[in-house]
Chains A and B, each alone.
Chain A
Amino acid sequence: MIDDSLTQLPKKRFKIINLIWLIVLIAGLFISINVTNTHISVLFENFSQFSDIFVQMANPDWSYFPTVIPLLLETIKMAVLGTIIGSALAFVYSLLIARNIIKNKLVTGVLRFIMNIIRTIPDLLLGAIFVAIVGIGPVAGILALSVFTFGVVVKLFYEAIETIDPGPIEALTAVGANKLQIICFAILPQVMTYFISYSLYAFEINVRASTVLGYIGAGGIGLYLQQTLQVFDYAKTGTIILVIIVVVVLIDYISSKSREALMK
């Protein structure tokens, strides 16, 4: 009897489309290996050179440390400003593309399309673009990080807005509130902690990204990274890398701890 009832569970239908996808993916993998001429062996051939550099870097030149400090601070300032500007823009923009706030599908559709395009641009490319527009220096870096932050935060934040409890929105509508009052009383209290958390998350990414932006002239410590590498002064490069690692780890730690505390 039991066996009988067990067989009543209908078999999940085998989907041919899934198999096709698998084949396409595997074929794609092989094709791309061939086209790009990737060979794992290359990695090992140059290994001795790599270990050479590594040994030099492992003996950092500490006399170089004071020189690094001003640009290190500039890097952090860039990350902070980029995060603040980008998050502020993302905040407003998210309210405009959340479908439970703006009912007009055309408006949200167009704004989302723009957002998706902005999101596809990698941070280094953004840096290069802004260096071309405003010239070499930290302003280019700040702008690049702002746009990048915008992309990260807007996506997470508007999705958070769309998953809130709609009940309070109804209650405020019934009370006679207008759109801004609904946002202020029914929506923001439900999503503010998410917003702060996502901004902190973007900040963590920005600290990392800002350290290399200088490499392309967009301000910050990356400039020294480029200079020392160019003259093969790996001991100094090692100093910079160590400093960067310490700062990144420290900021990551503080930021993720605060995010945890927020979400409690």
Chain B
Amino acid sequence: MTDSAIEPMIELRNVKKVYDKKVVGLKKVNLTINKGEFVVVVGLSGAGKSTLLRSINRLIDVTEGDILIDGKSITKARGKKLRLLRRNIGMIFQNFNLVKRSSVLRNVLAGRVAYYPTWKTIFNLFTKEDKERAYEALKQVDLADKVYARADELSGGQQQRVAIARVLMQNPKVILADEPTASLDPQTSLKVMEDLKMLNEKHGMTVIANLHSVELARKFGQRVIGIRAGEIIYDGKMSATPESVFTKIYNGGEEDD
């Protein structure tokens, strides 16, 4: 599924982000990510990984340049158009970002709100089909028995898997995962990464994940992008990437190249 016809899913064209008129987040980034890819983004803290991801679904506005999602510009979209583009892009966060006081089911259904008119979501009028679908999604991440539990009763790893079920419910074409395992233990991290892999392979979703662990990056990434000080300094197939590249990305902060 992944290597068939190569079509661009996300295109960044001369994207620049400057925070508060002085802090540089991204410098003139050009990048194309194709449909079905599993991309890992690595780099030191403060390199601009989150800035890259959050520009793609416009949680932050870029300063210059254009970003295309499946051929449509998200940087120029407004209102409903923007929301429909966002509906195609799921996001997994380091802190899970579940509504802690709501039930697991409601958190998963929240992934679906952009498919409904506002008034129906306000009165909680989700279709029976969607409720079934939410339950299915929870089954896929092994949390079917927690469907009516409150989100804050779950462990971190379970909460992250609820977030994955929420993305399943959203059924996007792209998933952005910003350090999805940073607050989890190694065992749980592995499980969450397996779930992301499942979304990539079984559901054909394009995945871009910021990772701090080289080990996980190696195990799951098909393509590696290395970022330093807002610039892409490496981009290549994981299978063709020698260990020295990682060493350089993580230790070469002082080197000039």
Tell me, yes or no, whether A70 is within 8 Å of chain B by CB: no
For A170, the chain B residues whose CB sits under 8 A away are 59, 91, 93, 97
- Interface mask (B92-107 → A, CB under 8 Å = 1, otherwise 0): 0101111111100010
- Judge whether A190 is part of the interface by a CB distance below 8 angstroms: yes
Residue B89 at the chain A interface, CB threshold 8 Å: yes
Contact A189 B114, CB 8 Å, known A170-B93, A176-B83, A178-B83: no
B122 with A184: CB separation less than 8 A: yes
CB distance from A192 to the nearest CB of B (A): 8
Asked if A171 and B93 sit within 8 Å, CB to CB, the answer is yes
Any chain A CB within 8 A of the CB of B110? yes
Within 8 Å by CB of B83, from A168, A177, A184, A186, lies A177
Given contacts A174-B86, A175-B110, contact A189 B99 (CB under 8 A): yes
A175 touches B170 (CB 8 A): yes
**In chain B between 201 and 229, which residues have their CB closer than 8 angstroms to a CB of chain A?**
none
Kindly state whether residue B245 has any CB partner on chain A within 8 Å.
no
Contact between A173 and B113 (Cβ–Cβ < 8 Å)? no
The interface bits of chain B over 33-63 (1 if a CB of A lies within 8 angstroms of the residue's CB, else 0) are 0000000000000000000000001010000
Cα distance A165–B98 in the bound complex, in angstroms: 10
Our count of residue pairs bridging A and B at CB distance below 8 angstroms stands at 79
Number of interface residues of B (CB under 8 A): 31
B230 at the interface (CB under 8 A from A): no
List chain B residues, Cβ under 8 A from A167.
Answer: 93, 95-98
CB closest residue in chain A, given B96? A167
Give the distance in Å from the alpha carbon of A177 to the alpha carbon of B99 in the complex: 14
Bound complex: CA A174 to CA B57 (Å): 7
**Residues of A contacting B166 with CB < 8 Å?**
171, 175
Asked if B180 is an interface residue, CB under 8 A from chain A, the answer is: no
Near A by CB (< 8 A), chain B positions 52-96 give 57, 59, 83-87, 89-91, 93, 95-96
A24–B21 alpha-carbon span in the complex (Å): 42
B121 within 8 A of A: yes
B239 part of interface (Cβ distance < 8 Å): no
Assess whether B99 is in contact with A175, with CB atoms less than 8 Å apart.
Answer: no
What count of chain A residues pass the 8 Å CB interface test?
Answer: 19
Classify the interface of chain A: helix, strand, loop or mixed. Answer: helix
Closest Cβ of chain B to A116, distance in Å, is 29
Pick from B87, B96, B98, B99: contact of A176, CB under 8 Å = B87
Residues of B with C-beta under 8 A to A181: 113-114, 118, 121-122
* Residue A185, interface by CB 8 Å: yes
Is B111 an interface residue when CB atoms closer than 8 A count as contact? Answer: yes
Residues of A contacting B83 in the complex (Cβ-Cβ under 8 angstroms): 176-178
Find out whether the CB atom of B87 lies under 8 angstroms from the CB atom of A175.
Answer: yes
Nearest residue, chain B, Cβ from A186: B99
Report the bound CA distance from A172 to B170 in whole Å. 11
Complex: how many Å from CA A41 to CA B118? 67
Choose among A173, A175, A190 the residue with the greatest number of B CB atoms under 10 Å from its CB.
Answer: A175
Q: Are A185 and B57 in contact (CB under 8 A)?
A: no
A172 partner residues in chain B, CB cutoff 8 A: 110, 113
Q: Tell me if A180 counts as interface (CB < 8 A to partner B).
A: yes
Give A91 Cβ to nearest chain B Cβ, in Å: 14
The answer, among B90, B101, B102, B113, for a CB contact under 8 Å with A177, is: B113
Are B121 and A173 neighbours in the complex by a CB distance under 8 Å?
Answer: no
Given A178-B118, A190-B101, A173 and B59 touching (CB < 8 A)? Answer: yes
CA distance A173 to B84 in the complex (A): 11
Select one of A175, A186, A190 contacting B114, CB under 8 A: A175
CA distance A156 to B111 in the complex (A): 31
Q: CB-CB < 8 A to A186: which residues of B?
A: 99, 110
Complex partner residue of A173 from B86, B98, B99, CB under 8 angstroms:
B86
Interface string of B122-166 (1 = CB under 8 A from A): 100000000000000000000000000000000000000001001
In the bound complex, how far is the Cα of B110 from the Cα of A168, in angstroms?
Answer: 10
Known: A170-B97, A175-B86, A177-B110. 4 other contacts (CB 8 A): A165-B100, A170-B93, A175-B166, A176-B86
5 cross-chain pairs, A with B, having the tightest CB-CB distances, nearest first: A176-B114, A176-B87, A167-B97, A171-B97, A176-B86
User: What are 22 A-B pairs at a CB distance below 8 A?
Assistant: A168-B97, A170-B93, A172-B110, A173-B86, A174-B59, A174-B86, A175-B86, A175-B113, A176-B84, A176-B85, A176-B86, A176-B114, A176-B170, A177-B110, A180-B118, A181-B121, A185-B110, A185-B113, A185-B121, A186-B99, A190-B99, A190-B100
